[in-house]
Structure 1
């Protein structure tokens, strides 16, 4: 498999995105979920071509992106998506908020499963809901699973929706079909809705294939809405394009209930880049997955050699590592210590859930092996 190599650090430091403008030049920035790989050539060419023809107006609607995604989903994910059941918007967070506004009333409980992507806490409240935390069961040593009994109890207690992270950020866990089927049954029994964030789905490693929620059962299709994007898999989050996907008449009403302007939040360049990614980006994505596989294994070796007290479970998907740094005694937020003493920026663990994030941090390993090695050496030297 032809790997995709990360750009050199000097070139990366000329980027103006959040990852490269949030920290001083002597810091290795590994918190923000952006990859250091060069853009896939089909995407770059599509964007250059758009510039050459001054194609910078409003996008033309969801259909062309939806058709491209439908082909990609069928080829790579075994998922039959009806393009007519797709509405695009600006990004995954926007899509989740708008879905929650359709399926909950102000003050309704919405389940999330810490440790979890920090914006989920804000997404729920932005939509008018109340966060109901049902932490993941298990942990780094034994692996994770959804607390299905806890989720069922939350729905019985009045929660009306759940935001599922499939695959899960930050732990890189990929739920299996049986767990998703049971989750759909629980939602159906309570008339609740599962809003499934599947933006990291195509970044699942081959031995742990991700299962789209809407494929697992009629109950999932009836009570599920998926929100996804090319943004993470193809490293184009700044171009603003996401898809809200449904698969039943009940869930179709969620999309058709959106305010008119929700669809028009998609950017023209986001639409163009997404179409190119879905239609022609497969070989590049395969190369990225191979590079990420190398790096997740390299990280395990580096930690064993240089920071043996740090606990890490190799993720099944994503390019994110959830690290238990408690043994280093760097406090509840070891990322703060790492930034000050090692000049390595990690994502703050408690932000992923105060009850489960203390002593933890998230590391982005979508970088060169040299940067990853240097980061672990710096952390080891800071002990």
Structure 2
């Protein structure tokens, strides 16, 4: 199989990219920010979507085959027996998260996160009219039981003081963690589940990055002891680069609050073509995924070497999962948001560290799912800009 990630310096294929990644900044800026891949598409997905278009199969989705494909993939990959009766297709993971939060928390109620964490968590909590409570990761990027216990306790106490409270707090889990690439262990997740149960907190797990793992094994949250009150959200969109083909799946635990079960109309938001693409990815795209994961792994190693040679002041913990790298730039003294300086001086765009929470000050997030040439050029530009 040839390279899956696009090769070269992007001059030949950049004009074919019309989405947000390549369209936000000027043409002289290298974009390594938003989490989408610079990759050749998965051929079985292309063939499935093209065939649907040619036969005019562009109506409303039925959903059953999509659910079954997700369940089969989860069983084959993680030995997770998904109860398909406890699932609901949704437009995408974050729309599903928002609807679940509306069902399991009260307006103005607390939603706990562990920063640094996916920046959209903050926006969607705000959009749903809830408020963020932070239980930061440890300096090593792990879940912090003490911080979780304290934040859950404070959140629960705040709910109980409300005169019209109907629901308890929720916790948004990023599993694996974005932006750090941390792969939570079964033991860590069991500890989280126990603390959440003690405080009556509903854990809502965004597991969109789960298929891309380099070191260790992914543990679905709903498979750990004590997680029956939780909710998980899955999609093929991140691992197979299908963000533009909208479809995801909500899976509720056996003891999840009634509000976590979505109304049937929510399934209408999942695109039929998105579901066709997801089915093809989960059932026929595993070879493609293995290849792209191998290439991302090589880029993990490449970035380690490049930073050591050109920018040794930057600290970088190699991610165990995802195609994201979390760079600690605080020794460079570039202020709270080094991404701004690096974009202006070096003409390279990374994700802003502070957008992932207060603990992201002085950091940037880098997208590793690009060509080695672009990754090398990005580090060269950083080094020249700071010399």
| Residue in structure 2 matched with residue 119 of structure 1 by the alignment | 120
Q: Which runs of 5+ in 2 are unaligned?
A: 157-168
In structure 1, distance between residues paired with 2:199 and 2:65: 36
Verify: 1:41 aligned to 2:43, yes or no.
Answer: yes
Verify: 1:373 aligned to 2:366, yes or no.
Answer: no
| Residue in structure 2 matched with residue 272 of structure 1 by the alignment | 276
In structure 1, distance between residues paired with 2:223 and 2:308: 39
Verify: 1:253 aligned to 2:262, yes or no.
Answer: no
Verify: 1:200 aligned to 2:209, yes or no.
Answer: yes
Q: Which runs of 5+ in 1 are unaligned?
A: none
CA deviation vs aligned residue, 1:9-67 (integer Å, no higher than 9, x gap): 1213321111111111111100010001111100010011011112111112x321110
In structure 2, distance between residues paired with 1:229 and 1:220: 20
CA shift in 2, pair 1:104/1:335, >3 Å? same
In structure 2, distance between residues paired with 1:234 and 1:68: 15
Deviation at 1:247, TM superposition (A): 3.0
Matches within 5 A, 1:1-383: 4-8=4-8, 9=10, 10-60=12-62, 62-138=63-139, 143-159=140-156, 160-205=169-214, 207-217=215-225, 219-221=226-228, 223-248=229-254, 250-251=255-256, 253-256=258-261, 258-353=262-357, 355-383=358-386
In structure 2, distance between residues paired with 1:73 and 1:42: 19
In structure 2, distance between residues paired with 1:32 and 1:69: 25
CA deviation vs aligned residue, 1:326-347 (integer Å, no higher than 9, x gap): 2222221111111111110111
| TM-score when normalising by structure 1 | 0.94
Residues matched between the structures, number? 372
Contact 1:12 1:36 in 2 (8 A): no
In structure 2, distance between residues paired with 1:51 and 1:255: 34
In structure 1, distance between residues paired with 2:257 and 2:3: 40
SS class of match (1:377): helix
CA shift in 2, pair 1:111/1:24, >3 Å? same
SS class of match (1:116): coil
Contact 1:113 1:136 in 2 (8 A): yes
In structure 2, distance between residues paired with 1:369 and 1:158: 45
CA deviation vs aligned residue, 1:83-138 (integer Å, no higher than 9, x gap): 22210101111011111111111122110011111111122222232110111112
